[in-house]
Chains A and B, each alone.
Chain A
Amino acid sequence: KKDEGTTVSDDETAGKTETIKIGVETALTGPLPDYGYAAQVGCELAVEDFSGFTIGDTTYEIELVVLDDKAEPTEAAIVAQTMVDEGVVGVIGGLTTGATLAAMPIYAENRIPQISGSVTGPKANETDFDTFYRTCWNDGVQGEALSVWAQELGAKKVVLMDDNGAYAVGLADVTENSLKAAGVETLRQNCQSGDKDLSAQVANIKEFGADVVIFTGYHPEAGLLRKQMVEAGMSDVQFMGGDGIKSAEFVAEAGGNANAEGCYATFGGFPEAQQPGYTAFAAKYLEKTGDEVGPYAQNNYDALGALVAAIKKAGSTDTEKIIEALQTLEYEGVTGTFTFASATSGAVTRGDIVVTGLTPANVPRYVVKDGAWIAVE
């Protein structure tokens, strides 16, 4: 293994070998270590597959610089500075919207392309940087989808609850706007990530007389909310959420199969079965870690793949050229074939993944059945 930084070594048989650094900004500590770990594994798998590509007679070895931003904005700014100091040609990440927002201006200023595999915040690229790209779907898509789905279920009164975090607030905002536009009555509630007792919120939901509750945060609080709703005799109120609740732990945290049964979740990507490269990827993932594929692992894999593709397309490791290449890149990855949006229009922001044929109605839907999330046909 070569780990000599960007030094160039002569090799008689295969021309030059050069090591390039690619940053992985993830969050192994903080609220979502499982996501952070999956992202890292996704990138490592990609390195195994794509490292050692050649441009001309130069072989490029990829060295990953994995840094932990703890999902905190301030820490992310430091990580971004460090990435700049390390001289990476591109960054995969960050993991969470809040942290990424903080890091983006620094990457942009230093002209380092950044591809996130998991940042789904609708407003992630509000500032319109040409250095930011993502291989996962914008939550705007899920927000619209949740709204459409709730209306399909016949919702008249919907409670939207977030956990005061960037992801949840963003998703709830989009959903709420969409529902309001459709004339559905809504009530907004909040909790803090880490809260245990949601009895006040549950009482408010009950008093409001909601027929659908949409929790846009993550599974620990979602599970508690569902559990406390059932215990307050509200098992007949529909419970929905975004991909933040589509986790196996949700079922246990909601107090078991009975409580979780029939809870709905959308997802920010096509079901695995529809992802062309998924089976192969899952096998590799299993081999490497002994686990099933973690959240957004394949998107991160694709992010790194797309970056490498852009480098090849640019024919150079000059970051300015890579950025240029990304804008017109069409990439065939594990999750499907996609391009990146070149400008902001409506819910789509610059750098968003553009997947052909995607509408709010065919965003993947899941439901808990017998204690497991299964796709809704």
Chain B
Amino acid sequence: MGNVLELQGMSMSFGGLKAVDNLSFSVRENEILSIIGPNGSGKTTTFNVISGLYEPDSGDILLQGESVAGLRPDQVHERGISRTFQSLRLFGNMTVLDNVLVGMHTRTKAGVVAAMLRLPSVRREEAAAKAKAQEVLAMFPGRFSGPRQSDPAFSLSYANRRRLEIARALASEPALLLLDEPVAGMNPMESREVMEQIKELRSRGYTILMIEHDMKVVEGVSDRVIAMDHGVKIAEGSYQEVATNHLVVEAYLGKRGAGTAS
């Protein structure tokens, strides 16, 4: 199986600060790769560069062999990378269903004139999109059933908002899904539930790149793990390998952290 994503010597700096420094790694098809690392080590920045919010200073980003470096975020999304945000960014006043439908923007085609006239083709497309959105929401059984789909997103509880972000990202059936701390702010019970859902996604064929500080989740779902520090990759391998790497323990896990993790 080929690589879905390949980062080649990517660097990104802010003023004098090298947030990401010559980072290379690849994500294989249908795997879950986790990035861990201390606060401010450049994990979110890596996501931002991949998703086109920042333009890398140097290096290349290949999505299924084609460069996406320097493209605008919407172009990157269209080519098949979608993401969630560390601090949630839903369209708070839009309904749950509409949030997901926005995620399908690049997968629908209706033009302005057609939409104004509401041509039959538009109606068909709209109906299909709705069905698809409902299907995506159904991945979280019981959470977004029936009338809740027309609730505004802001009224959701924290955990459900995270779920909705994942649903929005999934709606475009991305080749690569980026998840930034999907279980932050959840208690162990809830984390476990999200963990199961992430695994479920893999079994449906998705490829996932995830940032997470909760070692239980990282351990539970990752096929491979990358550790970063100061913008540099310091370790890569299976969870066990990385978690026992002395650099990682020192910089990230701390003694007790390593203890609870293993």
Q: In their complex, do chains A and B touch, with some C-beta pair under 8 Å?
A: no
